[in-house]
């Protein structure tokens, strides 16, 4: 405690040493208590072996923590819902228990039969509740708004799913595909785990993602909550199938080399008293409840209940929940939802975080929740050292992504939640000419050194009803009529496709150490997500994914999908996400160009609406020969193929070696490129000793995405050339507008001055 490692990483934290000592002290004291009374953290987190229903040699033992109950029974199909002969006993810790002996050598409670916990509380009223530790819960689909029932799940050996594939290795740079199983069908209905495994997982693999993040796995009675109002924490969502079906999905993913993360919701719980954990709250004190009492136990914006993280049984419940999903279902990690709400007593409501450290370490900090998260991350990584754990936090609390042994909270990554907000602001409120290259670059790189982040341009949050995806913001109604390749693209569609590629790619390349995309956004899925509800006539029409749009060869959605595949393939080949080398050498407000290096790749983004730059000089670190690794203007991605992929770009030294101020944009070397308007091009350094091998790798990036691309016939190509001519008025040389493309050292292009550059319309073909 006197040598807290995190303080040496950031001297700015030293004034808050007492805060760190206090929370580390609380954490270590709790670990000591667990060692003394529960056999340690690992043993404590196996509560599911004690609570809920557990099979023993001659019967089934059921235990439930319900200190507020005066009497209790277990009822269900097995006893005709009459608990008179199945009364439970209570110990001094408020834990009720009963052993139900086998009948005729068979379990008295049949597999897949309904059960509930019946108890009488202080006012003498008997109520039925779903057991808190239930492994499965179902609802009668033929009855509107019917209550859920707990289900005793203990399939015979022949019906149990056995995992066949090992967990894939942890990637250095996670490329995460965020998905919702229920809405993954192209049909207007709820999809199943097995359908997702068989039809969607191969798509994810084909697009070169290495990680799947599954939403809405924990049971939630209200479908439109997107899975965030959890009612049954140990139960899989029965809408999409059984526990064995989910295991099939995860095993199938592992067989494809995909890791699987789960959205875990421990920040709050549904306020549903009939189906959920809130039903155990009958007005008792907070020490006898899962939740805080009064205002502290209620989230006014989410209309949900808030856990008491200082309660012993709450800790047992939540930590066991972590272990359950890791061990029973073989998940590879978690994305913790609502972490900002957990970290602060104000839950981030009406709080604009500025980065001032006093905002993070004060009486507003919920140390109970911080200590719980430290325990959860410690547990996760002790069970699965290669686990990936991501925090959904908008505040940017320092230390969130540092190890627990340093005094950090222990997450592997934090979501870069400010990035999509900035893109939405630009698309809604700024013209293209008003876009600031410096602000874009700063927003993408504004993260704590030594704490890794997952970047994303948009997630499910930007897709729900009331908001718009990036594709819809860019193209709106023209997505319905202007996406056919059989017709010339309108200026709106042409701009939309170009910027969609650029926004997602620069977010991936510059925004973090990992990347996330929500299901369907990779190909610009139109419209929004709207779950069935009374307001839309209980329609599933906008609660699905129209995969056919990306698969139809004459629709332009295929170009966005192909580019997404190529982005991921580029990282697969060059591992730039995992590289700590990230240098932004140029952000031009006049020419609208951003140049940066990630790893040994050089990225050139030209956001200018119309200006194409020939002979544009870009700085780089290493001398040598560079070639195109990825080009958003390639034909396979709906571009015009203006950049030559077989051209060698040789560097020239800049300034005095070792004296950055004499270099070009502080880079010791440079080379010249063609940069068409609204394009991004990546260059790699050719290792001439392994030149053929590297060329094959780069070729595979483009071949990977062009395998499904059908070449346009000559008539279609001619139509496109004609379209270009019409758009720019057929460029012709005169004495007045001659463009000299033969450059010498004496008349070299100054890339910093837009007026000195040869400018061409954004649809002009560069003949030379």
What is the C-alpha to C-alpha distance for residues 56 and 28, in angstroms, rounded to an integer? Answer: 35
Cα separation values, 284 from 132, 290, 296, 318, 342, Å: 17, 10, 15, 20, 23
Going by C-alpha positions, the residue among 390, 338, 336, 323 that lies closest to residue 175 is: 390
Angle (nearest 5°) at CA 542 between 492 and 464 = 75
Cβ–Cβ < 8 Å for 474, 418? no
Beta strands in 277-383 (DSSP E): 298-299, 304-305, 333-336
Size (the chain), residues: 768
95 sits in which H/E element: strand 95-101
Residue with tokens 């359908």: 195
Provide the H-helix boundaries in 134-242: 193-195, 201-206
Side-chain-side CA neighbours of residue 11 (13 Å): 0
Q: Which residues of 130-154 are buried (b: 16+ CB within 10 A; e: fewer)?
A: bbbbbbbbbbeeeeeeeebbbbbbb
573 sits in which H/E element: helix 557-574
Determine which one of 337, 366, 494, 704 is catalytic. 337
Side-chain-side CA neighbours of residue 265 (13 Å): 26
What is the C-alpha to C-alpha distance for residues 228 and 198, in angstroms, rounded to an integer? Answer: 26
Going by C-alpha positions, the residue among 172, 353, 378 that lies closest to residue 259 is: 172
What is the C-alpha to C-alpha distance for residues 259 and 268, in angstroms, rounded to an integer? Answer: 26
Kindly write down the DSSP assignment for every residue of 582-612, as one continuous string.
EEEEEEETTTTEEEEEETTEEEEEE--SS--
Structure tokens at 380: 């996760």
Dihedral of CA atoms 351, 355, 356, 359 in degrees, nearest 10, equals 40
Cα separation values, 459 from 415, 468, 470, 476, Å: 11, 11, 10, 18
C-alpha dihedral sign at 341, 342, 347, 348: negative
Which of the 8 DSSP states describes residue 87? Answer: B
Going by C-alpha positions, the residue among 198, 181, 195 that lies closest to residue 237 is: 181
What is the C-alpha to C-alpha distance for residues 448 and 156, in angstroms, rounded to an integer? Answer: 51
Structure tokens at 610: 């119309």
Cβ–Cβ < 8 Å for 46, 320? yes
Going by C-alpha positions, the residue among 513, 651, 495, 632 that lies closest to residue 579 is: 513
Q: What crossing angle do the helices spanning 418-429 and 437-445 adopt, rounded to 10°?
A: 160
Q: Is 337 a catalytic residue?
A: yes
Cα separation values, 566 from 225, 485, 634, 707, Å: 33, 20, 11, 12
Cα separation values, 682 from 378, 607, 701, Å: 39, 15, 12
Determine which one of 219, 392, 451, 633 is catalytic. 392
Going by C-alpha positions, the residue among 228, 383, 237, 400 that lies closest to residue 320 is: 383
Positions marked catalytic: 337, 392
């Amino acid at each position: 405690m006197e040598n807290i490692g995190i303080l040496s990483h950031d001297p700015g934290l030293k004034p808050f040493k007492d805060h760190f000592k206090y929370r580390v002290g609380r954490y270590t004291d709790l670990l000591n208590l667990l060692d003394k009374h529960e056999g340690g953290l690992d043993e404590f987190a196996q509560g599911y072996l004690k609570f809920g229903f557990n099979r023993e040699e001659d019967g089934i033992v059921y235990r439930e923590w319900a200190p507020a109950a005066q009497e209790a029974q277990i009822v269900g199909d097995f006893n005709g819902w009459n608990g008179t002969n199945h009364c439970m006993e209570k110990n001094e810790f408020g834990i009720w228990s009963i052993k139900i002996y086998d009948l005729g050598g068979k379990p008295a409670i049949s597999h897949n039969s309904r059960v509930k916990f019946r108890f009488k509380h202080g006012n003498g009223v008997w109520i039925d509740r779903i057991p808190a530790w239930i492994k499965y819960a179902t609802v009668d689909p033929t009855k509107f708004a019917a209550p859920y029932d707990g289900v005793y799940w203990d399939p015979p050996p022949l019906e149990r799913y056995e995992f066949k594939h090992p967990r894939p290795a942890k990637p250095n740079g996670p490329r995460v595909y965020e998905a919702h199983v229920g809405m993954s069908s192209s049909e207007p209905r709820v999809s199943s785990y097995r359908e997702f495994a068989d039809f969607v997982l191969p798509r994810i693999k084909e697009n070169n993602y290495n990680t799947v993040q599954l939403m809405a796995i924990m049971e939630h009675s209200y479908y439109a909550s997107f899975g965030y109002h959890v009612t049954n924490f140990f139960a899989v969502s029965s809408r999409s199938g059984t526990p064995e079906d989910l295991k099939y999905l995860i095993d199938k993913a592992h067989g494809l080399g995909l890791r699987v993360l789960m959205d875990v919701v421990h920040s709050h719980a549904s306020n549903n008293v009939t189906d959920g954990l809130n039903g155990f709250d009958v007005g008792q004190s907070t020490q006898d409840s899962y939740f805080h009492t009064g205002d502290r136990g209620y989230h006014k914006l989410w209309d949900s209940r808030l856990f008491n993280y200082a309660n012993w049984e709450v800790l047992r419940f939540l930590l066991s929940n972590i272990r359950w999903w890791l061990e029973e279902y073989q998940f590879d990690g978690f994305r913790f939802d609502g972490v900002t709400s957990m970290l602060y007593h104000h839950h981030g409501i009406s709080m604009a975080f500025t980065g001032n450290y006093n905002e993070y370490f004060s009486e507003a900090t919920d140390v109970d929740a911080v200590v719980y998260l430290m325990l959860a991350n410690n547990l996760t990584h002790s069970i699965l050292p290669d686990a990936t754990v991501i925090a959904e936090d908008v505040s940017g609390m320092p230390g969130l992504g540092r190890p627990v042994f340093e005094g950090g909270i222990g997450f592997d990554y934090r979501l870069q939640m400010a990035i999509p907000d900035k893109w939405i602001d630009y698309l809604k409120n700024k013209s293209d000419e008003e876009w600031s290259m410096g602000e874009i670059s700063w927003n993408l790189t504004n993260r704590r050194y030594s704490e890794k982040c997952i970047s994303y341009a948009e997630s499910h949050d930007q897709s729900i009803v009331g908001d718009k995806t990036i594709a819809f913001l860019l193209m709106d109604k023209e997505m319905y009529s202007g996406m056919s390749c059989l017709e010339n693209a309108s200026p709106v569609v042409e701009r939309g496709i170009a910027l969609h590629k650029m926004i997602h790619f620069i977010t991936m390349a510059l925004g973090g150490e990992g990347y996330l995309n929500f299901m369907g956004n990779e190909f610009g899925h139109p419209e929004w997500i709207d779950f069935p509800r009374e307001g839309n006539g209980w329609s599933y029409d906008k609660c699905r994914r129209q995969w056919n749009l990306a698969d139809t060869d004459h629709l332009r959605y295929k170009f966005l999908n192909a580019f997404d595949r190529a982005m991921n393939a580029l990282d697969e080949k060059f591992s730039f996400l995992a590289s700590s080398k990230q240098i932004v050498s140029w952000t031009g407000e006049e020419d609208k160009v951003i140049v940066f290096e990630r790893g040994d790749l050089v990225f050139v983004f030209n956001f200018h609406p119309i200006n194409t730059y020939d002979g544009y000089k870009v700085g780089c670190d290493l001398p040598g020969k560079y070639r195109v690794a990825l080009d958003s203007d390639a034909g396979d991605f709906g571009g015009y193929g203006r950049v030559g992929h077989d051209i060698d770009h040789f560097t020239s030294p800049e300034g005095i070696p070792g004296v950055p101020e004499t270099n070009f944009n502080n880079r010791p070397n440079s080379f010249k490129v063609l940069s068409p308007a609204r394009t991004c091009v990546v260059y790699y350094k050719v290792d001439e000793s392994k030149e053929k091998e590297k060329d094959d790798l780069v070729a595979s990036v483009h071949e990977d995405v062009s395998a499904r691309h059908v070449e346009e016939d000559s008539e279609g190509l001619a139509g496109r050339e004609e379209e270009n001519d019409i758009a720019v008025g057929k460029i012709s040389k005169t004495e007045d507008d001659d463009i000299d493309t033969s450059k010498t050292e004496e008349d070299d292009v100054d890339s910093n001055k837009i007026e000195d550059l040869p400018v061409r319309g954004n649809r002009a073909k560069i003949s030379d």
